[in-house]
Amino acid sequence: MIEEALKAFRKGKPVLIFDFEDREGETDIAIPAQFVKPREVAMMRIDGGGLICVAIHPLAAKRLGLPFMHDVLKAASEKIPTLSSISNFDIKYDTRSSFSIWVNHRDTFTGITDVDRAKTIRRIGEVVDIVMMNEKFDFGREFRSPGHVAILRASENLTYERVGQTELSVALAEMAGIAPAVAICEMLDSETGKALSKKKAMEYAEERGIPFVEGKEIVKHYKEFREVKAKLFI
């Protein structure tokens, strides 16, 4: 199924990514950011129901100067002590969060509509493509914060270091040879009030002809991808 997922990403189409049973146990709708239009935002909002974020490659985050939110809070806590206690990590599925800052594109109105979020997400994807080619870009010229789109900064070594939806989606984009910026949204179940089960997510994928790929598949193929890439540069 990994090949189907890669083909879909290259065409800018959605893929469902399930992480791991012993992690979040969640399926995310993942769509390459540079291809996101209002209808894709609506799909994530209605069929997913979770938080719509954009996961970006660590190199792009570094070149754009986008920090982890925990570093922002740590620095800010020196002047606002309350932030020190609320930024302590006690999440049950990992050691830390991938959250960076929340933004809106400066040409949006409220920033929350499908049209506005699509513009913000799509431009983030385009900007990531620009900086991955080592071109400079003034992020603040086009984006403001706070906003309605959460940026997630992937770990330095992607799935070698962390296997969250952030790293899985960015690794998939990298293998597909497209800009490593992906809009992701958790699929929730309104009946149970919890994450949509893997079974239901797979049924949704089959009904709509969307590739469904598991985290373990991405981890395996990304390792092979990196090994082949490393040999080419020896």
Catalytic site residues?
28, 53, 93, 104, 148, 186
CA atoms within 13 A on the CB side of 157: 6
User: What does DSSP say about strands 212-214 and 181-186: parallel, antiparallel, or unpaired?
Assistant: unpaired
Give 196's DSSP letter. P
CA dihedral 26→123→60→218, nearest 10 degrees, is 30
Residue at token pair 């006690």? 90
Classify 66 as helix, strand or coil: coil
Identify whether the C-beta of residue 73 lies closer than 8 Å to the C-beta of residue 150: no
Identify whether the C-beta of residue 62 lies closer than 8 Å to the C-beta of residue 133: no
